[in-house]
C-alpha cells in the first residue's frame, strides 16, 4: 500500500483538490485498494472547516465529491504514517520541514516535482481567485505522481 499526504497552508483549497482528484484517478485505474490518501494543512487557520466552495465546484464539475472532508493540521507523526508528503508550494515545504524537523527518508516533495515543471509552485487560489488554473496544475501533478507510484507497486 502506498500512503500519500497532500499538504497546503489551509487544507481547504489546494490539498483537498489533490486528495480527491487523486483518489478519483486511482479509482479509475482500479487501484483504490493499493492507496491510502489524505490531505492536511501546515497551519491551524482553517481547522475543522469544510472544503472551499471554489474547490468543491471544480471537483463537482468533474463528478468528484469531497463531502465530509474537514481541514486538519499535519503533525510530526505523519512522517512515519505516510510514504509521500507532498506540498503545494515552497512556503508549504518550508513549513513542513519545520513541523517534521527534517526529511531523513526523502519523503517530502512538491506536487509539480513529479512533472516536467520540477520546482514550480501551485498557486494558492485563496489569494489568486483562479481555481481553474490551480485545478489544471493539480491535475497535471496528480497524473505524473500516479506514474511515479506505479513504479513502486
Ligand atoms: P490553501 O488556501 O492553502 O490552498 O487551502 C488557503 C486557505 C486559507 C488560508 C490560506 C490559504 N487562510 O489564510 O485562511
Each of the 153 residues of the chain gets a pLDDT tens digit; together they read: 999 999 999 999 999 999 999 999 999 999 999 999 999 999 999 999 999 999 999 999 999 999 999 999 999 999 999 999 999 999 999 999 999 999 999 999 999 999 999 999 999 999 999 999 999 999 999 999 999 999 998
Report CA torsion sign: 152, 73, 57, 136: negative
> Residue of the nearest CA to atom 9 in ligand 1?
10
Determine if ligand 1 sits within 6 Å of the CB of residue 13: yes
Instruction: Identify whether 14 is a catalytic site residue.
Output: yes
| This prediction's pTM | 0.98
Cα–Cα dist 151/76, whole Å = 27
Tell me the CA distances in angstroms from 43 to 2, 20, 40, 67, 144, one per residue in order.
Answer: 25, 20, 9, 22, 27
Question: Cell 512515519, residue?
Answer: 80
* Cell triple for 47: 481547522
Q: How many residues does the chain have?
A: 153
Specify the pLDDT at position 19.
Answer: 98
Amino acid at each position: 500500500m502506498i500512503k500519500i499526504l497532500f499538504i497546503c497552508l489551509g487544507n481547504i483549497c489546494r490539498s483537498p483538490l489533490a486528495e480527491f482528484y487523486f483518489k478519483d484517478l486511482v479509482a479509475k485505474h482500479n487501484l483504490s485498494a493499493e492507496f491510502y490518501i489524505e490531505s492536511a494543512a501546515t497551519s491551524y487557520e482553517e481547522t475543522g472547516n469544510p472544503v472551499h466552495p471554489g474547490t468543491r465546484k471544480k471537483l463537482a464539475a468533474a463528478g468528484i465529491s469531497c463531502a465530509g472532508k474537514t481541514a486538519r493540521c499535519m503533525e510530526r507523526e505523519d512522517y512515519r504514517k505516510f510514504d509521500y508528503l507532498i506540498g503545494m508550494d515552497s512556503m508549504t515545504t518550508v513549513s513542513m520541514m519545520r513541523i517534521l524537523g527534517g526529511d531523513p527518508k526523502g519523503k517530502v516533495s512538491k506536487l509539480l516535482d513529479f512533472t516536467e515543471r520540477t520546482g514550480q509552485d501551485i498557486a494558492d487560489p485563496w489569494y489568486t481567485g483562479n481555481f481553474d488554473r490551480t485545478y489544471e496544475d493539480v491535475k497535471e501533478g496528480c497524473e505524473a505522481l500516479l506514474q511515479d507510484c506505479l513504479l513502486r507497486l
